């Protein structure tokens, strides 16, 4: 067996510039300095989408490694200090604990990690989104790994024809179940069609058992038991040679789907694919954005990135997203633009109910 590389993507919002729209360059610089100075890593790249900092790291220490998680935690703490000095908005908002406790999971930041033996050539795409939630990846992951109308390889590439395994998490009950596609697609869709609760955590190549994709499935509000910001998610996908081609991996984003998490974490809107320099949500704090960075791994080095959605081939998707955004906005405070009550992260309902308590008359 050859040596294994771990690709870890850990993200947090530790202060917005301005409001919740973006990350100040001083924070990115701080994060870069922290990671570059670490002997634990083979390589690193610091990116941002909206107000989230994404630490993309390669190493040989495996998933859930305490030292790597500590490094990410310390990096976010150092960035928080910078954010506090500049009085950036919501400084330290995603760091739920006072001190690091061995594993960054459950402490606020989002985590997606995969460990694998690097192939002869190892193309990966790192997706990062803002103003949405982990379930936002359900529809694109379904299309990439299970929909023959999206992924031609499922039909015509013998090494993909057997399909993929999907590990689905129930974020409320904290359980998981694995579905085998294509045989169990209809069963799986019953669950993943409800992305506020059921999220695709991992996808495996069925024939080889190799990891193909992993997403971050943290839900901050469930962890903290109160509104503490959105769980803007990340997702890593391996591409080519028995995995979906890069173009098959990007294709689902050509038609923006509706996701939860716009304005106050309480609205639904289209997920707009953008290049890094357009990853600054503005209108009504949105619409929600997704960036796709491509890397070739070379002995763990991150060769890249390629800013895929900066391509004009996604201009039409952006236009469509703007049209959908305009329509959804026209609904104002009405569902389904505003999320269903169960999903609303900010709500005045208890207060208003209390105020009007005595005015509700029982009907017989």
Q: Which residues are annotated as a binding site for Mg(2+)?
A: 13, 20, 51-52, 93, 130, 230-232
Q: Per the residue annotation, which of 11, 13, 30, 43 is the catalytic one? A: 13
Which residue is nearest to ligand F6R, using beta carbons? Answer: 285
Cα separation, 17 vs 86, in Å, equals 10
- Do 86 and 45 meet the contact criterion of CB atoms below 8 Å apart? no
Q: Is residue 16 close enough to count as binding Mg ion by CB under 5 A? A: yes
Q: How many CB atoms lie within 10 A of CB 99?
A: 7
Binders in 223-252 for ligand F6R, by CB under 6 A: 230
Which of Mg ion, ligand F6R, none has residue 148 at its interface (CB below 5 to 8 Å by kind)? none
Q: Is residue 20 close enough to count as binding ligand F6R by CB under 6 A? A: yes
Q: At what angle do helices 66-85 and 25-36 cross, to 10 degrees?
A: 150
Stretch that binds ligand F6R, among 25-33, 118-126, 213-221, 257-265 (CB under 6 A): 257-265
Q: Which helix (H) or strand (E) holds 304?
A: strand 301-307
Which of Mg ion, ligand F6R, none has residue 264 at its interface (CB below 5 to 8 Å by kind)? ligand F6R
Spatial CA neighbour of 5 closest among 217, 332, 296: 296
Q: Which residue ranges make up the annotated binding site?
A: 13, 20, 51-52, 89, 93, 102-103, 130-131, 230-232, 240-241, 264, 285, 346
Task: Considering the complex, state which of residue 315 and residue 346 has its C-beta at the smaller distance from ligand F6R.
Answer: 346
94 catalytically annotated: no
Among 43, 51, 115, 231, binds Mg ion (CB under 5 A): 51
The contact mask relative to ligand F6R for 43-82 (x = CB under 6 A, - = no) is ----------------------------------------
Q: Is residue 131 close enough to count as binding ligand F6R by CB under 6 A? A: yes
Cα separation, 319 vs 211, in Å, equals 34
Q: Is residue 105 close enough to count as binding ligand F6R by CB under 6 A? A: no
Helix ranges (DSSP H) in the chain: 25-36, 66-85, 138-146, 153-156, 185-192, 220-224, 246-250, 262-265, 315-330, 349-356
Binders in 281-300 for ligand F6R, by CB under 6 A: 285
Q: Per the residue annotation, which of 43, 198, 230, 307 is the catalytic one? A: 230
Which of ligand F6R, Mg ion, none has residue 52 at its interface (CB below 5 to 8 Å by kind)? Mg ion
Both tokens assigned to 296 = 């070739």
Query: Residue 75 Cβ, how far from ligand F6R at the closest point, in Å?
Result: 21
* 274 CB-contact burial (10 Å; exposed 0-12 / middle 13-18 / buried 19+): buried
358 catalytically annotated: no
Which of Mg ion, ligand F6R, none has residue 48 at its interface (CB below 5 to 8 Å by kind)? none
Cα separation, 127 vs 104, in Å, equals 20
Q: Which residue ranges make up the annotated binding site for dihydroxyacetone phosphate?
A: 20, 131, 264, 285
Query: Can you say whether residue 272 is alpha, beta or left, with left for phi > 0 and alpha for psi between -120 and 50 degrees?
Result: beta
- Do 109 and 72 meet the contact criterion of CB atoms below 8 Å apart? yes
Q: How many CB atoms lie within 10 A of CB 297?
A: 22
Cα separation, 347 vs 216, in Å, equals 26
Among 263, 272, 324, 325, binds ligand F6R (CB under 6 A): 263
* Binding region for ligand F6R (CB under 6 A): 19-20, 90, 131, 230, 261, 263-265, 285
Catalytic amino acids?
A: 13, 227, 230
């Amino acid at each position: 067996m050859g040596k294994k590389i771990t690709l870890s993507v850990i993200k947090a919002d530790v202060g917005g510039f301005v409001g919740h729209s973006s990350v100040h360059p001083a924070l990115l610089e701080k994060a870069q300095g922290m990671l570059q100075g670490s002997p634990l890593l083979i390589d690193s790249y610091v990116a941002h989408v909206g107000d989230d900092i994404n630490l993309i790291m390669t190493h040989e220490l495996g998933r859930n490694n305490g030292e790597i998680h500590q490094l990410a935690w310390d990096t976010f703490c150092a960035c928080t200090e910078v954010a506090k000095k500049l009085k950036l908005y919501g400084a330290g908002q995603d760091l739920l604990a006072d001190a690091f406790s061995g594993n960054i999971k459950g402490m606020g930041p989002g985590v997606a990690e995969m460990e694998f033996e690097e192939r002869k050539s190892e193309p990966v795409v790192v997706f990062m989104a803002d103003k949405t939630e982990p379930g936002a990846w359900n529809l694109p992951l379904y299309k990439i790994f299970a929909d023959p109308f999206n992924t031609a390889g499922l039909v015509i590439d013998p090494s993909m024809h057997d399909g993929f395994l999907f590990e689905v998490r129930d974020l409320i009950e904290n359980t998981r179940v694995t579905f085998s596609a294509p045989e169990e697609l209809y069963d799986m869709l019953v669950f993943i069609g409800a992305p506020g609760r059921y999220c695709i955590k991992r996808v495996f190549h069925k024939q080889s058992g190799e990891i193909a994709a992993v997403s971050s499935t943290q839900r901050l509000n469930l962890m903290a038991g109160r509104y503490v910001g959105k769980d803007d998610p990340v997702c890593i996908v391996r591409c080519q040679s028995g995995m979906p081609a890069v173009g098959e991996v990007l294709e689902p984003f050509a038609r923006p789907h509706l996701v939860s998490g716009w304005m106050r974490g309480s609205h639904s809107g289209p997920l707009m694919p953008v290049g890094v320099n357009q990853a600054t949500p503005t209108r009504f704090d949105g619409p929600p954005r997704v960036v796709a960075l491509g890397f070739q791994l070379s002995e763990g080095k991150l060769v890249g990135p390629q800013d895929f959605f900066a391509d004009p081939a996604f201009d039409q998707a952006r236009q469509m997203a703007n049209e959908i955004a305009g329509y959804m906005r026209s609904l104002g405070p009405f569902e389904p633009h505003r999320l269903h009550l169960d999903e609303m992260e900010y709500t005045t309902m208890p207060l208003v109910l209390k105020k009007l308590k005595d005015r509700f008359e029982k009907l017989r």
